[in-house]
Chain A
Amino acid sequence: MIGIAAAMMGLIGLVFALFLVTANKRFAVETDPRIAQLEEAFPGVNCGGCGYASCAAYAEAVAQKGEKIDLCVVGGDDTTREVAHVMGVKVSDEQKDKLVAVVFCQGDSEASAFPGVYKGIPDCAAAVYSQDVAKRCKYGCVGLGSCVAACPFDAIHLSPTGIPYVDAEKCTACGNCVIACPRDLIEIHPLKHDAFVYCKSLDPGPIARKVCKKACIACNICVKAAAADENPDAVYMEKNLARVNTQNYSAKPEYGEKCPTAAYNSNCNSIRKDEVMARLEAQRNAKQAVEVGAGES
């Protein structure tokens, strides 16, 4: 009895197994094996920094629609190299630069305090829409930390005086804080460039000076310094605000030495930048050494 029962169950199982094997071949779904490899290469945090809903969606776009390979800002240099390896393409030099978020305001509670107190919803956008902000400058940081809340990597924090600063070590340039800031004070720039006018005030000089001690007052000193250095493209003046040319990133920190309000500055609003720079430099040298060594042998 047991023998027959076992044989029958075995037979039934076998028949269905064969049926499923045939069905599996008949209904096999062809997937690109590179998609799985790309998903492995991506960090898998689904931050959306690349513009796709998830790492899987970006992997699919890279493999099938020929999307750019350097959009993953979280993985940065290393991920781009891996993706290039999977896709069999070369990484160009400009794709190797690490990017970080840069906060373009120095108007903390000491430089640009407002006598009133904001008591609304603790959200920058809400404060801006209600025209009831905690700072005097109408272009400056509200200091309520919407960018801090938006950061999925714990890379941006508020200083005690109410200005966000970026941790270059943790920042992945995903751009969530850029979107969160209602006054567009945050931008993504290459880590190695560190000379900027940390101000976005479009107020004419006298007013800007009145509302904030660290505002750009459109005095043209940095523009003249750039011109004197035979580099007139580096800094330009537009709508009462000196701006560093971000097409070529040729501005040097020295142009800001005579800035009367220290709006033109370097390495402002960020920490651990030098450490990260040094580490990346060391890594790059090590890799080059390996590549040279491999070439010789």
Chain B
Amino acid sequence: MNLVVLILSAAIVNNFVLTYFVGVCPFIGVSKKIDSALSMGIAVTFVMTITAIVTWIINRFILIGLGLPFLEYVSYIVVIASLVQFVEMFIKKTSPALYRTLGIFLPLITTNCAILFVALLHTMRQYEFVESVVFGIGAGIGFTLAIVIMAGIREQLETADIPKPFQGAAITLIVAGILALAFMGFSGLLAA
């Protein structure tokens, strides 16, 4: 039960993009089409989950074990960078079309702060192994949810009659703000 609460908390109540405002760059950049947004969400979820697993192991057995907690950031960044490299190779091999669609945003997952945030947060909250993994999955689902909702709205916006000054990035940011307001309605629903 505790794990279900944790996943709901990470995915909806404390949605990374819309509550903590991390990972906004791909959230704006790859949310033009639902297809590519979903692929991006899945890639980020994958990287987040693996990152949570690997960083938990590194944190528990190397950093805490040897008394080197100050290496947290550096080692986590190394983990994330390697994993993103791996995902990039994998996607390039399996789906060149998706590789072209994601374009620069695929290597930019490396600098997506949402991923580092997962790693830092589970360290800060001292989650156990299973909790960390579930937290990573939940955060990934939350990111996917947010970016797909955004892509759906933006597909509708394509045909909408938007006043000229608001077209493009402006209306996107306004929509993101309204979405965040909507997600505020969940706050305080779960205590986690």
Interfacial residues, chain A to chain B (CB-CB below 8 A) = 1, 4-5, 8-9, 12-13, 16-17, 19-20, 23-24, 27-29
Tell me the chain B residues, 81-112 only, with Cβ under 8 Å from chain A.
82, 85-86, 89-90, 92-93, 96
The answer on a CB contact under 8 Å between A8 and B62 is yes
Neighbour of A8 across the interface among B68, B79, B85, B93, CB < 8 A = B68
Contact of B62 among A12, A13, A24 (CB under 8 A): A12
> A3 CB to closest chain B CB, in angstroms?
11
B residues with CB within 8 A of A: 58, 62, 66, 68, 70-71, 74-75, 78-79, 82, 85-86, 89-90, 92-93, 96
Closest to B68 in A: A5
> Contact between A8 and B92 (Cβ–Cβ < 8 Å)?
no
In the assembled complex, the CB of B79 is this many whole angstroms from the nearest CB of chain A, namely 7
* Complex contacts, A17 vs chain B, CB 8 Å: 82
Interface centre among B58, B78, B90, B92 (most CB of A within 10 A): B78
In the complex, what residues of B have CB within 8 A of residue A20's CB?
82, 85-86
User: Which 10 pairs, one residue from A and one from B, show the smallest C-beta to C-beta distance?
Assistant: A16-B82, A27-B93, A27-B89, A23-B86, A5-B68, A12-B75, A23-B89, A20-B85, A29-B93, A29-B92
- For the complex with contacts A5-B71, A9-B74, 18 further pairs of A-B residues with Cβ separation under 8 Å are A4-B66, A5-B68, A8-B68, A9-B75, A9-B78, A12-B58, A12-B62, A13-B78, A16-B82, A20-B82, A20-B85, A20-B86, A23-B85, A23-B90, A24-B89, A28-B93, A29-B93, A29-B96
Known: A27-B89, A27-B90. A8 touches B71 (CB 8 A): yes
Shortest Cβ gap from B155 to chain A (Å): 25
Looking at the assembled complex, report how far the CB atom of B135 sits from the nearest CB atom of chain A, in whole angstroms. 22
Report B-chain residues with C-beta under 8 Å of the C-beta of A24: 89
Q: How far is the CA of A247 from the CA of B33 in the complex (A)?
A: 50
Set of chain A residues within 8 Å of B85, measured between Cβ atoms: 20, 23
Residues on B with beta carbons closer than 8 Å to the beta carbon of A27: 89-90, 92-93
Cα separation A23 to B79 with both chains bound (whole Å): 15
Name the A residues within 8 Å of B71 (CB-CB): 5, 8-9
Query: Can you name the residue of chain B whose Cβ is closest to the Cβ of A25?
Result: B89
Query: For the complex, what is the distance from the CA of A20 to the CA of B71, rounded to whole Å?
Result: 22
Q: What are 10 A-B pairs with beta-carbon distances under 8 A?
A: A1-B68, A4-B66, A5-B68, A8-B62, A8-B66, A12-B79, A19-B82, A24-B89, A27-B93, A28-B93
CA distance A96 to B136 in the complex (A): 62
The complex places the Cα of A247 from the Cα of B74 at a distance, in Å, of 71
Residues of chain B with a CB closer than 8 A to A13's CB: 78
- A24–B85 Cα distance when bound, in Å, is 9
- CB contacts (< 8 Å) of A29 on chain B: these are 92-93, 96
Chain B nearest Cβ from A157, distance in angstroms:
35
A150 to chain B, nearest CB (A): 28
Chain B residue nearest to A4 (CB atoms) is: B66
Note all chain A residues with C-beta closer than 8 A to B78: 9, 12-13, 16
A9 contacts across to B, CB distance below 8 A: 71, 74-75, 78
A contact residues around B96 at 8 Å (CB): 29
Min CB gap A175→B, angstroms: 27
Q: How far is the CB of A137 from chain B (nearest CB, A)?
A: 42
Tell me the smallest distance from the CB of A54 to a CB of chain B, in Å. Answer: 13
A19 contacts across to B, CB distance below 8 A: 82, 86
Cα(A33)–Cα(B82), bound, Å: 27
Residue of A with least CB distance to B81: A16
Given contacts A12-B62, A24-B89, A27-B93, contact A4 B68 (CB under 8 A): yes
Q: How far does the alpha carbon of A13 sit from the alpha carbon of B71 in the complex, in Å?
A: 13
Across-interface contacts of B90 in A (CB, < 8 A)? 23, 27
A23 to B92 alpha-carbon distance, docked (Å)? 12
Cβ distance B121 to chain A, nearest Cβ, rounded Å = 20
- The residues of A that contact B92 with a CB separation of less than 8 Å are 27, 29
Nearest residue (CB) in B for A5 is B68
Residue from A1, A4, A16, A28 in contact with B79 in the complex, judged by beta carbons closer than 8 Å: A16
Instruction: Please name the residue on chain A nearest to B74 by beta carbon.
Output: A9
A23 CA to B70 CA in the complex, in Å?
30
A151 CA to B79 CA in the complex, in Å? 51
A136 smallest CB distance to B (angstroms): 42
A17 to chain B, nearest CB (A): 8
What is the minimal beta-carbon distance from B76 to any residue of chain A, in angstroms? Answer: 10
